[in-house]
A = this chain, B = another copy of it.
């Protein structure tokens, strides 16, 4: 399924779409990250280590799918999608540090602080965050200052204390404290949901004048799929082994963290993932084939390994 032809429903075509855009995102990030020949070289090397060569690029895929749905040129989605991936990469680097989750493995390779040391990892995260905002602010393909400003605002809100950082704060405060399902949901809406929503909205706003009903539909879709993503993460953490996951498995239980699996049990957690998937689909119910890519992506996210 090429980007310029109508989306068809064949899974193999969707898989090609995913593979093509994962490759594309890698190229965009490679081009936008500072070269290792530019000073400070070791910081730039570590930033590239943290941001390149791995991950499913779910947020970028969501931005591309939402952008296409709203009629954006593929090229205009590149930088906003890359910015979201940089924010995500920064959060992983900091999240893996000894004072946070203390993880040794990420995307199947040693975490940034294991390779470059804690101090450099701290700066890598800081600099990746700045770079995300820098890239959108200087993007030449997005012509309208208002459009870029709106994206920067969405991204800053999603990253900050009322978004991702806030969710992480709730997370570290809740270690060892059993959460209710509602509290757990609040944590995840911030910790992962906010950035996933931002990815979808930045994709939508890559179109010059996106249809507001489509933007609303995408927002509802992204809310459900963002939560589904986390429920699936909890299931995978409980079920998978470290090799399959590409990061240390079983950490949640070891750290005495509340998860959808510890609160609901494995079977009900899977049921919840399916319900959230259905909600996401319902948000697109007024749309035809132009939303198929988003639908496939919902399947991709919720059916990753079970």
Query: Which residues of A pack against B, CB within 8 Å?
Result: 34, 38-40, 42-44, 47, 90-91, 94, 97-100, 117-120, 122-123, 125-127, 129-131, 133-134, 137-138, 144-146, 148-149, 152-153, 155-157, 159-163, 165-166, 168-170, 172-173, 186, 190
CA distance A120 to B100 in the complex (A): 9
Contact (Cβ within 8 A) A131 B161: yes
Given A43-B169, A126-B165, CB of A160 within 8 Å of CB of B134 = yes
Please name 20 further chain A to chain B contacts, defined as beta carbons within 8 Å, in addition to the given A38-B162, A127-B161, sorted by A numbering. A39-B170, A40-B169, A40-B190, A47-B161, A91-B126, A97-B99, A99-B118, A120-B169, A120-B172, A123-B165, A123-B169, A126-B126, A126-B160, A130-B159, A131-B156, A133-B152, A134-B160, A137-B153, A145-B145, A149-B149
Contact (Cβ within 8 A) B42 A169: yes
CA distance A122 to B98 in the complex (A): 11
CA distance A152 to B150 in the complex (A): 12
26 residue pairs of the A-B complex, CB under 8 angstroms, read: A39-B186, A40-B161, A40-B166, A42-B173, A43-B165, A94-B122, A98-B99, A99-B99, A99-B122, A126-B159, A126-B165, A127-B166, A127-B169, A129-B129, A130-B159, A130-B161, A131-B156, A134-B153, A134-B157, A134-B160, A137-B152, A137-B153, A138-B153, A148-B149, A149-B149, A149-B152
Contact (Cβ within 8 A) A119 B99: yes
CA distance A209 to B269 in the complex (A): 57
The 6 A-B pairs at the shortest CB distance, nearest first, are namely A130-B160, A99-B118, A134-B156, A43-B169, A145-B145, A137-B153
Complex interface: chain B residues within 8 A of A99 (CB): 97-99, 117-119, 122
